[in-house]
Amino acid sequence: MSRKNLFQTLTLAAVALFAASCSEKKFTVTGEIENAKDSVLYFENISLSGPVVVDSVKLDETGDFSFSDAAHESPEFYRLRISGQIINLSSDSTETVTVKARYPEMSWKYEVSGSENCKKIQELSYLQIDLQNRCVAIADSPELSVAAANDSIAKVIEAYKENVKTNYIIREPMKPYAYFALFQAIGPRLIFNPRENREDIKMFAAVATSWDTFYPNAERGQNLHNIALEGMKTMRILDSENKPLEIEASKVKETSVIELSLLDNKGIERKLSSLKGNVVLLDFHSFEANESPERIMQLRSLYNKYRAQGFEIYQVAVGTNEHFWKTSVAALPWVSVFDRTGAAMSTYNVSSIPTFFLLDRNCTPVKRDIMIKDIDAEIKALL
């Protein structure tokens, strides 16, 4: 190769490399930290293995900084840190987030713009700091015995969890701030503890299910599944009274469609017969039951495995809390309806839940769960 050709080749390669670097999507954090001259500001990615330093800068008298990281396909979490002072952030797009703060009170006094998720994380961080301060004040109160202090702290934490559960996790479980809320802690203990509390397991499972839909390949979503499933296993070990439900088998008609017509969470009428042409799992379910999160994950596994071959789920929810049902099914990919009167249960002679029926491609009931030993084999046979 001649010198001229070699020069042209190297030039084109450099241009291509420059173009690729310019086109790479970035997540950028910029801003200023006042009163922090000569302090080292770290920009860290909160990976599943722990904090990883992405970049750092020694601040001058202006406190100006700018950090970037490659954008991810699913939400990621970061933090700005000077010593023990931390500002938590999230990235779910190629957005630029601006942060303004003053050291050394940057953890509880900062401004953030450019990201609604980061603003919600700020709200949660402030709430957590307030909770911790209240718990410390109760523990240090000379007027309370140890037992009384522990009881008061437990009530304060429970009220906090109810607020966060309702206004941050259940409301939009697919959002990064809902994920962030699950891992808040007081000292070394998680506020939502899936190792000890069934209701907390439900929250982890709800966010995991939602992430399956919005970020199907996210490692964090799979991690949530693993945490929820491990919590369920722990609960079964600890709860000696957790026995399998005994469901009476009853025969169903095998010659025609036993029609159901109920409203889904958007108020749209959904007929069971509309799924004709698919193998259908007709599921009767209570989202308020302790075993609900595990059951939903099992159904999702079946749905993901066989959906492309013509498998559908028609899920009939029963219970008293319709609002909880609506938020629980918002991210589910199958048909989910609510049986307000109990008519659907009566139609299918259902006396206890959970229970399900397998329907063939004509929407004719073939078998009930009590008759099925291998659900995969039964679905494959009908497909």
Q: For the CA atoms of 45, 46, 49, 54, what is the dihedral angle to 10 degrees?
A: 10
- Cα dist. 322→99, 272, 351 in Å? 40, 20, 20
pLDDT at 228: 82
pLDDT at 9: 47
CA contacts within 13 A on the Cβ side of 234: 14
pLDDT at 182: 94
Write down the H helix ranges in 319-370: 322-329, 343-347
CB 89, CB 120: distance < 8 Å: no
β-bridge partners, 32:
64, 100
Cα–Cα distance, 282 to 184 (Å, whole number):
38
pLDDT at 44: 96
CB 308, CB 341: distance < 8 Å: no
Q: Mean pLDDT of all residues in the chain?
A: 85
pLDDT at 199: 87
pLDDT at 97: 96
Cα–Cα distance, 128 to 184 (Å, whole number):
7
Radius of gyration of the chain measured on its C-alpha atoms: 26
User: Could you tell me the two tokens for 201?
Assistant: 């397991």
Helix, strand, or coil (residue 124): helix
- Cα dist. 146→140, 154, 275 in Å? 10, 12, 60
Per-residue pLDDT of 266-290, as tens digits, reads 889 999 999 999 999 999 998 888 8
CB 22, CB 16: distance < 8 Å: no
Q: How many CB atoms lie within 10 A of CB 313?
A: 23
Identify the residue whose tokens are 């015995």. Answer: 145
DSSP annotation of 39 reads P
pLDDT at 248: 39
Chain CA centroid to CA 379, Å:
28
Per-residue pLDDT of 7-25, as tens digits, reads 454 444 444 444 444 457 8
pLDDT at 237: 63
pTM, rounded to two decimals: 0.61
DSSP annotation of 300 reads H
* pLDDT digit string (tens) for the chain, length 383 residues: 554 454 454 444 444 444 444 457 889 999 999 999 999 999 999 988 889 999 999 999 999 999 999 988 899 999 999 998 999 999 987 689 999 999 999 999 999 999 999 999 999 999 999 999 999 999 889 898 888 888 999 999 999 999 999 999 988 889 999 999 999 988 778 899 888 888 898 889 888 888 888 888 889 988 888 888 878 777 766 654 444 433 333 433 333 467 899 999 888 999 999 999 999 999 999 888 888 888 899 999 999 999 999 999 999 998 767 888 888 888 899 999 998 888 888 788 787 888 899 999 988 888 888 888 899 999 999 99
Identify the CA nearest to 214 among candidates 73, 25, 47, 69: 73
pLDDT at 269: 92
Q: Which residues contact 183 (CB under 8 A, 6 or more apart)?
A: 190, 192
Q: Which amino acid is at 66?
A: S
CB 229, CB 297: distance < 8 Å: yes
CB 331, CB 303: distance < 8 Å: no
CA contacts within 13 A on the Cβ side of 11: 6
Identify the CA nearest to 361 among candidates 379, 374, 373: 379
